[in-house]
Structure 1
Amino acid sequence: MKKVLMMIQESCPYCRQALRMMDELKAERPEFKAVEVKIVDENREKAFADSLDYWYVPTYFVDGVKVHEGVPTVDKVRKVYKRALDL
């Protein structure tokens, strides 16, 4: 299984929306529960955030590769899980 990193900002409404979508997808697809997502607030981990190539949050990286950046949709978040599981 591939590693997933999610960059967020605590105050970001789209980040909260993406987190809700993740919960909904895990309820819908039990296999998604096996995917560990490391969630990092860019304001708390500034040096780490600055080392990554992205402009908007939420941003998802799967095994170090950026796979989504910006406004989330359920389909885009689902694709993150599928990519992590090689589905």
Structure 2
Amino acid sequence: MKTITAFYLNGCPYCRNARAAIQELIEENPVYGTVPVEWYEETEHPDVVKGHSYYYVPSMFIGTERFYEAQPGQSYDEIKGHVKAVLDQAIR
């Protein structure tokens, strides 16, 4: 199982939706709760952000490979689908 590194900003509605989606996905499938997800507020952890290429948050990586980067206007269901895909990738 791989660790997911996720970057967010305080007050970001897409970030809030990504976190809510993870909780909902864990309720639907408890195996997702075993995936380690390390959340970093990007302005508080510039040292961790370095080496990760993204523009929008939330952004989710496994290693330095980006598997999800939110896009303006995404619905909760779209975000949840992308988050699920990242969790599935981490479980492989």
| 8 Å CA contact retained: 2:51, 2:64 | no
Which structure 2 segments of 5+ residues have no match? 72-77
For residues 43-82 of structure 1, the aligned pairs below 5 Å read 43-71=43-71, 73-82=79-88
How far apart, in 1, do the equivalents of 2:50 and 2:65 lie? 15
How far apart in 2 are the matches of 1:42 and 1:36?
18
TM value normalised by structure 2: 0.86
TM-score, normalising length: structure 1: 0.91
Structure 1: unaligned runs, 5 residues or longer = none
Aligned residues: 86
Q: Distance in 2 between matches of 1:55 and 1:37?
A: 20
1:85 aligns with 2:91: yes
Tell me the amino acid that sits aligned with residue 69 of structure 1. E
Cα displacement (A) at 1:47: 3.2
Q: Does 2:36 correspond to 1:30?
A: no
- 1:5 aligns to what? 5
